[in-house]
Amino acid sequence: MDLMRKKSTKYLILLVVLFLTVALILKVIAHFKVAPNNQNPITTTAENIPPKPQYQQVSVTIKPHDTFVNIFKKLNLDPKDAHAILKLKDTESLRHLKPKQEMLFLLETDGSLHQISYQIDQLTVLTITNKKGFSAHITKLQPVSQLDYISSPIESSVSTSAKKLGLSSRIANQLANIFNEKINVSRNIKSGDRFAILYKNYYVNNKKIGEGDIEAAEIIHDNQVYRAVRFADPNGNADYYTPEGYTLKSPFVRYPIDHPKVTSRFSLHRWHPILQMYCAHLGVDLSAPAGTPIKATSSGKVIFAGIKANYGKTVIIQHNQYSTLYAHLSGFSQGIHSGTAVSRGQVIGRLGETGLATGPHVHYEFRIADKHFDPLKVKLPTGEAIAANYHKQFLAVANQMFAELDSKRHTLLAMHPGILR
């Protein structure tokens, strides 16, 4: 009996194991069984079916002598539709197509016209839509401004170096003019001098369409750093200022003529070529062709205009505690007489050789409180300070621009060690 009981238990265990094994196999088969096509989410889900293109896109590059109607004919579109579009308001530009511009057509699957997009200019797009008839719509694009940075050693001049980097003549000249009264950037360049600027550019769809002004600039000249930042007050009056808020333009310019040639310097003991004796030469002689315009070096009031002994025809201008003298003129500009108010850069006469002169030149003197100073070496007055009511606003702009300038320079140095040396 015990033997039979043991055999029965053994068979029972085998049956249970067999049953469980079969159940497991059936479950595995059910898991991997492929569902019918109408139940399989992988093969029938709409998200996994590539959508058929709704429109055919055709780009046309306009050629010389192309007309809107001719383009329709080339695309096998109905010329009557072209004439209908040309009658719409705001489609005048389609009558005067510009070569090399693009015109984008969207065509229905049957080849009929759905939409036209034509960029009239950098900021204007014309869209023609066909929805139970044609309609025209003009969109004005909004350019995005961006501050771009550029830095370079100065070779022959600031302007030349800037143009070599691809900067426009306007930006190159603007850079030169910003610092021209602090440094003669066309003449005094030395080895190791360099410049860096932040300037504004305008983009539409990542394409540059125009440029603004230099917002911050730096010139390293003879190991000295000169900086300037642009600031516009709420009335739109813009100028360039030092980091402390003074204009870079002194009330005075250094010379009364353009491109002067110094022929005789300031001296307390100079041999006079006509008088044949030593005497003080309390100004500087600047040579140029006869008739060259003589300009007031600062705004002020004429206190003398006439003949003054050895000086010949002479103009003296008072500028508060300063005064300037211009001698040996060939003549005076109209309206220049004692009491006339003049502005900096105004032409007051023409270069000549009246009085005791060996050739055409202007004798120029610079006085402070009636005391003579060498016009070539005297420290000219600093520029005017920014208006007190704008000073806080200016400092916020200046700090932001100079921080950006420093950040760009550090980034450039990190990417190219030694480039700024």
- Which residues belong to CATH 2.70.70.10 in the chain? 261-373
Q: What is the distance between the alpha carbons of residues 340 and 317, in angstroms, rounded to a whole number?
A: 9
- Plot region of 222 (φ>0 → left; ψ -120 to 50 → alpha; else → beta): left
Q: Tell me, what's the pLDDT at 188?
A: 62
Separation in Å, CA 172 to CA 18, 157, 213: 92, 10, 11
Average pLDDT over residues 166-180: 86
Average pLDDT over residues 314-336: 96
Q: How confident is the model at residue 275 (pLDDT cuts 50, 70, 90)?
A: low
Kindly report, residue by residue over 76-132, the tens digit of the pLDDT.
999 999 999 999 999 999 999 989 999 999 999 888 899 999 999 888 999 999 988
- State the number of CA atoms in the 13 A half-sphere of 189 facing the CB: 18
Q: How confident is the model at residue 162 (pLDDT cuts 50, 70, 90)?
A: confident
Under DSSP, is residue 176 helix (H, G, I), strand (E, B) or coil? helix
Q: What is the distance between the alpha carbons of residues 386 and 159, in angstroms, rounded to a whole number?
A: 28
Q: Is 412 exposed, middle or buried (0-12, 13-18, 19+ CB in 10 A)?
A: middle
**Number of residues written out for the chain:** 421
Q: Tell me, what's the pLDDT at 109?
A: 87
| Higher-confidence position of 276 and 211 | 211
- Which residues belong to CATH 3.10.450.350 in the chain? 56-140, 143-250+382-421
Q: Tell me, what's the pLDDT at 241?
A: 94
Q: Tell me, what's the pLDDT at 11?
A: 59
Q: What is the distance between the alpha carbons of residues 252 and 342, in angstroms, rounded to a whole number?
A: 13
Q: What is the distance between the alpha carbons of residues 377 and 216, in angstroms, rounded to a whole number?
A: 29
| Higher-confidence position of 31 and 260 | 260
DSSP state of 321: T
Q: How confident is the model at residue 1 (pLDDT cuts 50, 70, 90)?
A: very low
Question: Which of 163-177, 366-380, 397-411 shows the lowest per-residue confidence on average (mean pLDDT)?
Answer: 163-177
Q: What is the distance between the alpha carbons of residues 373 and 367, in angstroms, rounded to a whole number?
A: 6
Whether the pLDDT of residue 303 is over 70: the answer is yes
CATH of domain 261-373: 2.70.70.10
How far out from the chain centre does Cα 112 lie? 45
- State the number of CA atoms in the 13 A half-sphere of 281 facing the CB: 19
Q: How confident is the model at residue 30 (pLDDT cuts 50, 70, 90)?
A: low
Q: In the chain, what percentage of residues exceed pLDDT 90?
A: 48
Kindly report, residue by residue over 225-269, the tens digit of the pLDDT.
899 999 998 888 899 999 999 998 888 988 999 888 888 888 877
When the pLDDT of each residue in the chain is averaged and rounded to a whole number, the result is 84
Question: Which of 44-48, 91-95, 199-203, 372-376 shows the lowest per-residue confidence on average (mean pLDDT)?
Answer: 44-48
Whether the pLDDT of residue 307 is over 70: the answer is yes
Q: State if pTM tops 0.85.
A: no
Q: What is the distance between the alpha carbons of residues 332 and 53, in angstroms, rounded to a whole number?
A: 79
Q: Tell me, what's the pLDDT at 85?
A: 95
Average pLDDT over residues 378-405: 91
Which listed CATH number (3.10.580.10, 3.20.20.140, 3.50.30.50, 3.10.450.350) goes with 56-140?
3.10.450.350
| Higher-confidence position of 343 and 411 | 343
Question: Which of 4-8, 226-230, 363-367 shows the lowest per-residue confidence on average (mean pLDDT)?
Answer: 4-8
Q: Phi and psi of 186, rounded to 5°?
A: -90, -10
Q: What is the distance between the alpha carbons of residues 373 and 322, in angstroms, rounded to a whole number?
A: 11
Q: Tell me, what's the pLDDT at 272?
A: 65
Q: What is the distance between the alpha carbons of residues 323 and 317, in angstroms, rounded to a whole number?
A: 6
Average pLDDT over residues 274-282: 75
Q: What residue ranges in 320-393 does DSSP mark as E strands? A: 322-332, 341-342, 347-351, 361-368, 371-373
Q: What is the distance between the alpha carbons of residues 336 and 239, in angstroms, rounded to a whole number?
A: 30
CATH of domain 143-250+382-421: 3.10.450.350
Q: How confident is the model at residue 187 (pLDDT cuts 50, 70, 90)?
A: low
